[in-house]
Chains A and B, each alone.
Chain A
Amino acid sequence: NAGVTQTPKFRILKIGQSMTLQCTQDMNHNYMYWYRQDPGMGLKLIYYSVGAGITDKGEVPNGYNVSRSTTEDFPLRLELAAPSQTSVYFCASGQSEAFFGQGTRLTVV
């Protein structure tokens, strides 16, 4: 049972670089989410999707973009990385109970 899989697990970016965080789930969930967790804090919602082709902003969307071309995949794109985007990023899926991936630890220097 793979559940929610995120890649990469760790990444260091230079200021101004771009990258895509990958997320895939094998539970056939329509609902998927991206959260970020800053040190010592709870998670905050960046973007979510209720199905293929449909995405919407969460609490902290600035600096990020998402797409949802398939039910399984929900990539998160960072354009022009900034130090404020240093965080741990979690992808989740599920309409009622949410299931989380193992996270991507991103450092922007």
Chain B
Amino acid sequence: GIQVEQSPPDLILQEGANSTLRCNFSDSVNNLQWFHQNPWGQLINLFYIPSGTKQNGRLSATTVATERYSLLYISSSQTTDSGVYFCAVSPGAAGNKLTFGGGTRVLVKP
């Protein structure tokens, strides 16, 4: 099956700093999502981005499908950005059976 690797595995940031999280995948995908899992365990949808670039406030994401990677940018980080960020992909033509990466654990210090 498809392999998903996220880097770095851990990230410690000072409040206000910028960061880039990376997701590499081993095969072509039709779906790609970024999630934030908050300290209470809830999975929050950040981006549905099988290709191209999207922005939502301080967060933005870019997926280069032909080169099999996606990037999540966090700008002016806040303590509420702490948690685990997951990339998940699906190669299927229909449906969304997601394969998750191992996550990037982010801690933003005040």
Contacts and interface: CB of A to CB of B under 8 A. Distances in A.
Contacts, number: 59
Interface residues of A, number: 25
A95 interface: yes
Contact of B48 (A31, A96, A103): A96
A98 B98 contact: yes
Given A97-B33, A99-B45, A42 B102 contact: yes
A1 B96 CA distance: 22
Contacts of A90: 43
Interface string A53-97: 000001100000000000000000000000000001010101111
Contacts of A41: 102-103
Given A90-B43, A96-B48, A103-B42, A50 B95 contact: yes
